[in-house]
Structure formats: C-alpha cells, structure tokens
C-alpha cells in the first residue's frame, strides 16, 4: 500500500477561471481548444449538483480524462492522488478548494484517483467535460471507472 504525501502531481492542470461581468450578467470561458492538448479535448459534457457535505469519489479511470469546472455556487474541496506507478510524482496527494469565490478548471488525466466534497452550505454545481463518452458510443461499453469509495481500508481517504 502506498503512503501518499502532500505534493504537486505531474500532468494535473489547474487553471483559474475568469468571470467577465457587465450590466447584462456574466460570462466565463470553461475551455478553449487552443489551450488543451488534443488528447484531452472533450467528447461530451455534463453538469451535476452536489448537496452540502456530500462527496463524489474517490474513483479513477483507466483511459478517460476529466476536465472539471468548479464555478459555484458553493465551495468544493478536491482530492487528487497520483496512483500511476510510472509517474514522477507517484504517491503524491493534492488537496485544494475551488468554487464560487475561486472558480477553477481542473484537468485530471487517467490514472489519477480523484474525489470532491461540497464543503459549502448550499448545493453546488460541477461541470465536467471528459474526453471519452460515458459507457462508450451508444452507451454500449463497460464504464471506465474504478470506484474506491466503498473500500474501508482504501488509501484514498477524504478528510
């Protein structure tokens, strides 16, 4: 079993998102194809709502990369573990917050175990733009997901 230590993770990209406001409201660019490597370009998108105190994950993907956008409302604590044995940062763990006051886009490559928890007091939204279709074309393939959240002695524990 790996003893994870705090540190940056190779290939994780965290980008601040900027809100452009005027009298009509606001606009925020979530991604641009000229700022993301072709291998990570989105194949689909979805939005989820998470209740306060609730976590999603930890889980990982063998092939899929996720591009999460935390724009609010609410605040999320992200947990990332580098479980890729050939990575120069194998065994590192990153924890940070993102959301309404600190909007961020977070690119999570395959092999990075990840989770997030809504640590705010209201429901929060997360937009994901993964580079693979969920359950493949026509939803006819096995879902690319290894779930760790129900394993009591898993090294992937949330605070």
CA–CA gap between residue 129 and residue 45 (Å, rounded): 4
- Two structure tokens written together for 63: 């092939």
Domain ranges in the chain are 5-31+41-133
Specify the CATH number of the domain 5-31+41-133: 2.60.120.10
Instruction: Single out the residue of 59, 159, 66 nearest to residue 106, CA to CA.
Output: 66
pTM: 0.94
CA–CA gap between residue 27 and residue 35 (Å, rounded): 18
- Two structure tokens written together for 55: 């976590």
pLDDT band at residue 7 under the 50/70/90 scheme: very high
9 φ/ψ angles, rounded to the nearest 5 degrees: -120, 125
Beta bridge partners of 33: none
What is the pLDDT at residue 34? Answer: 94
Contact 126, 50 (CB under 8 A): yes
CA–CA gap between residue 97 and residue 146 (Å, rounded): 24
Contact 89, 9 (CB under 8 A): yes
pLDDT band at residue 152 under the 50/70/90 scheme: confident
Identify the weakest region by mean pLDDT among 20-24, 32-36, 86-90, 151-155. 151-155
Q: Is the dihedral of CA 19, 24, 25, 30 positive or negative?
A: negative
């Amino acid at each position: 079993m790996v003893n994870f230590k705090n540190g940056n993770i190779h290939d994780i990209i965290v980008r601040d998102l900027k809100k452009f406001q005027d009298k009509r409201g606001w606009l925020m660019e979530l991604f641009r194809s000229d700022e993301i490597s072709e291998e990570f370009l989105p194949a689909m998108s979805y939005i989820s709502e998470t209740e306060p105190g609730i976590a999603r994950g930890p889980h990982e993907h063998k092939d899929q990369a996720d591009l999460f956008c935390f724009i609010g409302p609410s605040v999320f604590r992200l947990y990332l573990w580098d479980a890729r044995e050939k990575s120069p940062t194998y065994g590192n763990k990153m924890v940070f917050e993102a959301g309404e006051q600190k909007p961020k886009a977070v690119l999570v490559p395959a092999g990075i175990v990840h989770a997030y928890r809504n640590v705010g007091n209201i429901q929060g939204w997360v937009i994901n733009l993964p580079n693979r279709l969920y359950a493949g074309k026509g939803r006819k393939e096995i879902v690319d997901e290894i779930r760790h959240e129900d394993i009591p002695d898993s090294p992937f524990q949330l605070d």
